[in-house]
Structure 1
Amino acid sequence: MKKIVLFGDSLLAGVMKGEPSEILNRYILDELTEMGFPGYEVVNLGKRGESSTDGLARVDEAVEAQGDFVVISFGTNDSLRQKNTVEVFGENIKEMIESFDASKVILLTTGYLNTAIITMGDNNRQQRYVQKAKQVAEDIGVNVIDLYHHLTVYPKPNEFIQTFDGIHPSTEGYHFLGALIARDIKEKLLAEG
């Protein structure tokens, strides 16, 4: 069975109402099966509250999982809690990505925040982390999903965010995220021939 490793913070942990869940795992697998790519399992290594520095400290755990695909997503805690500058975040992400075969990596950027709920949030700051992630991905040559962009091209992005905390995707948001990840994996599989 082929393996998808989700390595990141609470976004990838599928946090719903403050608790990790299987919601993102299920949506990714359902979408891949519907696209004609069944037979995958998800190893979820998402952890709440982690910055990119925390992720870098446990990158070996993700390497040892030996995924056919690895989705990396950090940055919200770097930005929201200002744990790392944009420059340190970029260095951490670069080092994480370089721990894997680049053809297996999908880098997922930070998302949009509902700042009416999470008042300490700053979407302008979030976007600086998004831009840094995209720059690192381009420099190394890995796929990137700009989650912030995908969420904000819609007129009502708050519909994709839980009212519980203003940070994590709603059920619809996780469904959308699962579809984005599955689509990227499908594109990689088709490119491999």
Structure 2
Amino acid sequence: MNRFLACLALLFIGFTSVPARSETLKLVVLGDSLVAGYQLPAGDGFPEKLQAALTEKGHSVEVVNAGVSGDTSTGGLSRLDWSVGPDTDAVIVELGANDALRGLSPEGTRQNIEEITRRLRDRGIEVLLAGMLAPRNLGPDYAEAFDPIYADVAKAHDALLYPFFLDGVALDPDLNLADGMHPNSQGVEVIVEKILPEVEALLARVQSSNDS
């Protein structure tokens, strides 16, 4: 009997000495002021509210805010490697709004978004592209060149696509700050609610890849 108990104790020690595998996924939001929390109270930014929504739905995920106000797609590309660490499972790319506001070349934006996506996919990271639309005051030619960027890149690199990050919020004064461009706290809630199914699909891709 004593020998049996000793063997049982050894088995128990062996099991408890093995560290539990963490199931928490790391999701980085790489973007500009639309996700950085521009002029919002602490905790009201997109990454924070997305974290809360995912947690409420039972997902074990850490959402990291890698938004920089004023960033262009060029800026996002230049800081990609240190903004998205080696332990990252998935990235939401929200860049390009400032490119369009400044009237920068759509071809340059396309090249940057494609390079960001390609480099992330080459690292085995799942990507959700949060698209943007060109301001219509720049003319139809600019919009025709700019608007398809995100869908084209997503298709080329097997990334997920959310066509327009500001869907349901753009141009609504009740959902934006006084500048008419940045979502207020209520606007962020609308964005999170609308994009949540695509983010869940992104996490499902990660989990499927981890299980295979």
TM-score tier after normalising by the smaller chain length: 0.7 to 0.9
- Once the two structures are overlaid, the 10-residue window that deviates more, 180-189 or 28-37, is 180-189
Q: Structure 2: where are the runs of 5+ without partners?
A: 1-23
**Closer, same or farther: CA 14–135 of 1 in aligned 2, 3 Å:** same
What per-residue deviation string (whole Å, max 9, x for no partner) do you get for residues 116-136 of structure 1?
Answer: xxxxx6596567533212211
Partner of 1:27: 49
Task: Give CA-to-partner distance per residue, 1:158-187, whole Å, 9 cap, x none.
Answer: 146424211111222211222344322212
The one-letter code matched in structure 2 to 1:47 is V
- Give the equivalent residue in structure 2 for 1:12: 35
Letter in 2 for 1:63: V
Q: How many residues align?
A: 181
Amino acid aligned to 2:186? E
Q: Paired residue for 1:85?
A: 105
1:70 aligns with 2:91: yes
Provide the rounded CA distance (Å) in 2 between the counterparts of 1:161 and 1:130: 23
Aligned runs of 1:33-182 on 2, under 5 Å? 33-37=55-59, 39-64=60-85, 66-82=87-103, 84-101=104-121, 104-110=126-132, 128-147=145-164, 150-151=167-168, 157-159=171-173, 161-182=175-196
Q: Which has the larger radius of gyration?
A: 2
The amino acid that maps onto 1:145 is Y
Structure 1 residue ranges (4+ consecutive) displaced by more than 6 angstroms after TM superposition: none
Shift of 1:34: 2.5
**RMSD after superposition:** 3.0
Counterpart of 1:118 in structure 2 is none
| 1:51–1:77 CA contact under 8 A, matched in 2 | yes
Alpha-carbon spacing, 1:149–1:26, altered in 2? closer, same or farther (3 Å): closer
Contact 1:127–1:148 at 8 Å: present in 2 too?
A: no
Unaligned runs of 5+ in 1: 116-120
Q: What percentage of residue pairs aligned between the two structures are identical?
A: 26
Instruction: Tell me if structure 2 keeps the 8 A contact 1:43–1:65.
Output: no
What is the SS of the residue equivalent to 2:93?
A: strand
Measure the CA separation in 2 of the matches of 1:127 and 1:58. 28
Moved more, 87-96 or 182-191: 182-191
Q: Tell me if structure 2 keeps the 8 A contact 1:4–1:42.
A: yes
TM-score after normalising by structure 1: 0.78
Corresponding residue number in structure 1 for 2:9: none
